[in-house]
Amino acid sequence: MKLRSRPLVCREAVEFMSNYLEGALSRRDRRRLEYHLRHCDGCTNYLEQLRLVIATSGTASPDDLNADVVDGLVEVFRRVRDESPQ
């Protein structure tokens, strides 16, 4: 016996999207989401925004690293490098 799934509303659809992109939805939920997306521009835009956000997260940020921190670590590096071997 197969229960017919109730269609998703937008509020529910957005809750599924991260897992959809992770490939972690059940087949049934994936179908429900894909069905909703075919009929909803708002959610389709939302999913595209999410994809863009994720892709952008993996792009190195314009360098805002504190130079003092790096220099401090380089000092540490020199110390460890020059330790006499045990």
Q: Given the rule CB under 5 A, which residues bind Zn ion?
A: 10, 13, 40, 43
In the complex, the smallest distance separating the C-beta of residue 16 from Zn ion, rounded to whole angstroms, is 11
Residue type, 50: L
Packing angle, helices 10-21 and 27-39, rounded to 10: 120
Residue number, 3 or 57, with CB nearest to other proteins: 57
DSSP letter, residue 83: S
Whole-number Å distance between alpha carbons of 67 and 70: 5
Residue type, 25: L
The footprint of other proteins (CB under 8 A) covers 9-12, 14-15, 17-19, 22, 24, 40-43, 45-46, 48-50, 52-59, 61-63, 65, 69-70, 72-74, 76-78, 80-81
